[in-house]
Amino acid sequence: MTATIARPAPAPAGHLSSRLTTATAGRVLRQLRHDHRTIAMMLVLPSLLLGLLYLLWKDVPTLPGQPGIFDRVGLTMLGIFPFVVMFLVTSIAMLRERTSGTLERLLTTPLARLDLLLGYGLAFGLMAALQALVTVTVATTVYDLDVAGSLWLVVVIAVVDAVLGVALGLLASAFARSEFQAVQFMPVVVLPQFFLCGLLVPREQMAGWLQAISDVLPLTYAVEALQEVGRSAAETGIMWRDIGIVAGAALVALALAAATLRRRTS
């Protein structure tokens, strides 16, 4: 008789293992270490884009006693840039896992889908923290960004917003069949949030139906939290509420991504 070796059954969808989640995060970080272009995009690109805004607005006059345009808009961009960059990087990275067959092989092991996605969220969350530290440091030292509130709160909001970008990127990757399609999700997921977050036009000046849409978009609350930090040196309940809403939206997106994740691209 020929002996057969049983393959380990996949873990149930609801089963979580901190060991497997940590192992997944470690694997993703090791892959990123050899991808210098992606690292540069995550750590250097936001500071360069912020520098472009600084050069654009640094000589624009403002009314006495009013903050400069860069101080107002640049602070908000500290939350928007990580969101956009992490959405793009994560959606493409997960799509490559699926198209290369890596995802299919991983899901034949005891690794649950949520373990996989939480591992990705942890790895890119660590990169987001490093990204936020680099960008905030450059903004406040090189570009002289003036923030009324605590800088550590700006970093916290930027990290939470980047994790939201990671979660939405993972969710979007489940519906894309190619890297080109993953990029096409940017105008669908990112641009409406950017247009309606209150940066271009104050939300109270929008039409009622646009305000209603803005109310359900998580980037709106990230921008509002950063504006609260920019206005006041004291922590406010509105700011912490907004951070909680953004974090909750990231968790919901991760759960939806786990439910819709496919092993391979058909």
DSSP string covering 142-203: TS----SS-HHHHHHHHHHHHHHHHHHHHHHHTT-SSHHHHHHHHHHHTHHHHHHSSSSS-G
In sequence order, which residues have a C-beta less than 8 Å from that of residue 219 and are 6 or more positions away?
A: 79, 80, 83, 161, 164, 193, 194, 197
Taking the whole predicted model, whether its pTM rises above 0.95 is answered as no
Other CB atoms within 10 A of residue 154 CB: 24
What does the pLDDT read at residue 107?
65
pLDDT at 241 over 90: yes
Share of the chain above pLDDT 90, in %: 23
pLDDT at 220 over 90: yes
Other CB atoms within 10 A of residue 253 CB: 24
The domain locations on the chain are: 18-52+68-178+185-260
Cβ atoms of 196 and 221 within 8 Å: the answer is no
- The tens digit of pLDDT for each residue in 55-112 reads 988 777 776 666 678 888 888 898 898 899 889 888 888 887 777 776 667 766 766 7
